[in-house]
Amino acid sequence: MPDILHRFSIDAPPQRVHDLIASTDGIACWWTGRPLAGEHAVGSSFAIYFGDADKPAAKMEVLADTPDEVVWRVTEGPGSWVGTRIEFTLRPWGDGGTTLLFTHAGWAEASEFMSGCSTNWGSYLSSLKAGAESGAFAAFPHGELSRWS
């Protein structure tokens, strides 16, 4: 099964990066640009929304949330996302920075849609990096580089 992989060096402490990944308010800052529904706690679920859509784009179950790892399982969303895992691994880097290893794992097959998602993940993770370092987030719609009709 193919996976999407990204690695980022972030000039911010791991706790700051973790807080942005492991809270619904933080995720809204760097990814969706609007509030999420639900709770980010192990065993709970949250839904993400983009633009002015009333229907969630995806729902995630939180499988793990430790200072060095956050893992979600997609329970609803685009067909090829359902059942995949989104993993954020955080490691201290340099003098107070963070190495972020990102994996969106378990895709059934490589496809044009997967390629577009990889592009957008890279952009949204860049938003996370910029926001963690300076507060200058670029959430949706600014971070969506590969658009779908």
Q: Which CATH architecture has domain 4-134?
A: 2-Layer Sandwich (3.30)
Sheet holding 45-48, edge to edge: 4-10, 97-105, 85-93, 69-76, 58-66, 45-48, 37-38
pLDDT over threshold 70, residue 148: no
Q: Identify whether the C-beta of residue 32 lies closer than 8 Å to the C-beta of residue 21.
A: no
Give the separation between CA 3 and CA 11, rounded to whole angstroms.
Answer: 26
Q: Hey, where are the domains in the chain?
A: 4-134
User: Can you give the pTM of this predicted structure?
Assistant: 0.95
Give the separation between CA 54 and CA 64, rounded to whole angstroms.
Answer: 28
Q: Which residues contact 5 (CB under 8 A, 6 or more apart)?
A: 101, 102, 103
pLDDT band of 145, cuts 50, 70, 90: confident
CA nearest 48: which of 17, 15, 25?
Answer: 25
**Three-state DSSP state, 127:** helix
pLDDT over threshold 90, residue 42: yes
DSSP 28-59: IIIIISS--EE--STT-EEEE--TT-SS-SEE
pLDDT over threshold 90, residue 125: yes
Give the pLDDT mean for 49-73.
Answer: 95
Hunting for tokens 């926001």 — which residue is that? 131
